[in-house]
Amino acid sequence: MPEKGLLGDKYVIKKLISRGSRNFLVNALLALFGLCAIGVGGLEARTLTLDEALEMAFVNSPTMKRVGYSLDMSRHNLQAQQAALKSQFSLNLMPYQFSKSRRFETFASDYVTSQLKGSNFEFSINQPIKWTDGTFRLTETFSWEENTTIQPQVIDSFSPPQNVESIREAFTNNLVVSYTQPLFTYNRTKLELKELELALENAQLNYAIQKLQIEQQVTESFLNLYYLKRSVQIAKEELVNSTESFGIIQSKVEAGISAKEELFQADLTQANSRASLENRDMQYDNSLDNFKILLGLSLDDELDVETDIQKLIIDVSLAHAINYGLSSRMELRQRDIDIQNALNSLIRTGAQNEFRGTLNLSYGLTGVDGKVRDMYNSPTRTQGFNVSFNVPLFDWGQKKHRIQSAETQVEQSRLTADEERKNVKYQIRQSFRNLQNQKLQIEIAEKNVTNARLTYDINLEKYKNGDLSSKDLSFYQNQLSSEQLNEVSALINYQVALLELKIRTLWDFQENQSVITGNEE
């Protein structure tokens, strides 16, 4: 972190200056920097590299968590639908049932009491057929019933009617195999499965896109933090130089070699350097807090960044960059998914009020007897076959207009996909030009730093010899600091431009491999 102790030692510096000893002043400043370094070391700040910051952001970012939840939901929905295409087993049990009723029977011209006891279970297997959208079903039903009937019966004409109880017990087993097949319509099972697969792919693409955006955001914030840290270091060097210049002119003024107003100018320069250091230190602290929020850390955590921004120029071919982008950009695949979903919606719309049919086939064996072992002594065979049709007659143009609306949606999706491809190509060309421009800016910044440093050294000698005023030396000192920051900014801008081209092409030009698969060219 920036050394704040330096800013609070104005009284110490002025006291050293008042003694008029240049050597003592320089030694005291070095000691002061040593104390600041010790103070910073005592904070035990955690130092992060860019890779560590990215890993932390991927884990803690609320945006990544949200798209991760959407990805999980899409994956579970697809897995549930795939499981639904496997054989489904079900068992319905009714261990015991009892009912008793009394009703008037016409044939007996009297009230009859019925009492029913029983139990049954039903076991079934449903097997959807994905390729035909049909359903195969096997059902096994076993039941036991005991029916007791109490009804009045006339024994003879001289006696009143007497209640006669009759009991009937039976075991029944019914085994049925059936198949249902839709006719003259689209395969709803395959369409629903395809839509869920596209939804999962779209969620995966969205997750990858958000991850790249987080990478860009964190990288830019990290490099900006490094820039501010470097600006603090340059401001400290500037303060040391202005303090040294103040010591030189103070000695000359006390010796009567220079005018007193030169001392005032040198003091003003030193104060401006101190104010510049304080301002840059504040900017660094604010940027560091924003960086902690971006990573999901507490503001009370002590943190520092560590990186090595060096000159690294990569040769990039514009034609290859465009080919990589058009073949790999996930947004383009998302637009293709939108087109497919629009076509699926057209299919579903066309099936409204459609002519369709249903074929049903069934075959079963039913056995009934008072004893379980004798149920299938003489079973009853049952067969079933029927075909039904739904024939729409007149819908007042409803289906026609719905289909036209769905077709328009397809065309709109295709237009959006074409525009997306043009936009991707434009973005890649723009990023390529920016990268080439930043390469030139680095060369200019390096040359400017070399010239500014030589110019400052030459004018510092003039200042020591009394041939240059404090105000003029301050100008060259500020010029050197400005050009140093411009060089750092140019190096960072090149890294950002290279990252932007990587994100827009999904190709890592530095490693010469795909961002998605990691395969080399």
pLDDT (tens digit, 9 = 90+) per residue, 203-224? 888 888 888 888 888 888 888 8
Residue 46, SS3? Answer: strand
In the 8-state DSSP scheme, what is residue 520?
Answer: B
Whole-prediction pTM: 0.68
Question: Residue holding tokens 């990186």?
Answer: 307
Average pLDDT, the chain: 81
Of 244-248, 249-253, 413-417, 468-472, the least confident? 468-472
Task: Please return the burial class of 517, using the count of CB atoms within 10 Å of its CB with bins 0-12, 13-18 and 19+.
Answer: exposed
CATH topology of domain 1-84+186-307: Outer membrane efflux proteins (OEP) (1.20.1600)
Confidence of residue 55 (pLDDT cuts 50, 70, 90): confident
Contact (Cβ atoms closer than 8 angstroms) between residue 131 and residue 168: no
Q: Residue 96 to residues 88, 109, 144: CA-CA distances in angstroms? A: 26, 32, 9
Give yes or no for residue 193 having a pLDDT over 50.
yes
Give yes or no for residue 24 having a pLDDT over 70.
no
Please report which helix (H) or strand (E) contains residue 150, including its range: strand 134-153
Residue 109, SS3? Answer: coil
Question: Dihedral through CA 218, CA 221, CA 225, CA 228, nearest 10?
Answer: 160
Give residue 518's region: left, alpha or beta (phi > 0; psi -120 to 50). Answer: left
Contact (Cβ atoms closer than 8 angstroms) between residue 339 and residue 417: yes
Give 127-133 contacts, CB < 8 A, sequence gap 24+.
127/86, 127/87, 127/88, 128/84, 128/85, 128/88, 128/189, 129/189, 130/85, 130/189, 130/190, 130/193, 131/187, 131/190, 132/181, 132/187, 133/181, 133/182, 133/187, 133/188, 133/189, 133/190
The structure tokens listed for 301 are 């955590």
How far is the C-alpha of 78 from the C-alpha of 58, rounded, in Å? 25
Q: Tell me the backbone φ, ψ of residue 147, rounded to 5 degrees.
A: -110, 120
Question: Dihedral through CA 436, CA 425, CA 517, CA 199, nearest 10?
Answer: 150
pLDDT for the residue 51: 83
pLDDT for the residue 282: 93
SS3 content of the chain, % helix, strand, coil (to 5): 60, 20, 20
Give yes or no for residue 180 having a pLDDT over 90.
yes
Kindly state the average pLDDT of the residues 306-326.
82
Residue type, 373: R
How far is the C-alpha of 152 from the C-alpha of 155, rounded, in Å? 10
Confidence of residue 157 (pLDDT cuts 50, 70, 90): low
Highest-scoring range by mean pLDDT, 54-63, 99-108, 421-430: 421-430
Give yes or no for residue 447 having a pLDDT over 90.
yes
Confidence of residue 306 (pLDDT cuts 50, 70, 90): confident
How far is the C-alpha of 336 from the C-alpha of 334, rounded, in Å? 5
pLDDT for the residue 80: 93
